[in-house]
């Protein structure tokens, strides 16, 4: 009987946990994209300097 009373609490915690994970993944993706853009800009600037 105690299992049934605990189940709704466990379900209520999941959406909050899922949104936290989603926010963390979103932030990681944004940081990764910024890093890749910076690398691409650095390569492009380096290529422009190699045309001498």
For residue 7, name the pLDDT band (cuts at 50, 70, 90).
Answer: low
Residue 44's domain spans which residues? 22-52
| For residue 1, pLDDT beyond 70 | no
41 lies in a domain? yes
pTM of the model: 0.57
Cα distances from 6 to residues 9, 13, 35, in angstroms, run 5, 11, 44
Q: What is the pLDDT of residue 24?
A: 97
Say if 17 falls within a structural domain: no
Classify residue 5: in a domain, yes or no.
Answer: no
**For residue 46, what are the CA distances in angstroms to 10, 20, 34, 50?**
54, 39, 18, 6
Distance CA(16)–CA(22), nearest Å, equals: 10
Average pLDDT, the chain: 82
pLDDT of residue 5: 57
Q: What is the total count of domains within the chain?
A: 1
The answer to whether residue 9 sits within a structural domain is no
Instruction: Evaluate whether residue 29 is within a structural domain.
Output: yes
């Amino acid at each position: 009987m105690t299992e049934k009373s605990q189940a709704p609490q466990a379900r209520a915690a999941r959406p909050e946990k899922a949104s936290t994970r989603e926010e963390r993944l979103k932030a990681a993706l944004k940081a990764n994209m910024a890093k890749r853009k910076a690398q691409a800009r650095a390569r492009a600037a380096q290529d422009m300097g190699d045309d001498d």
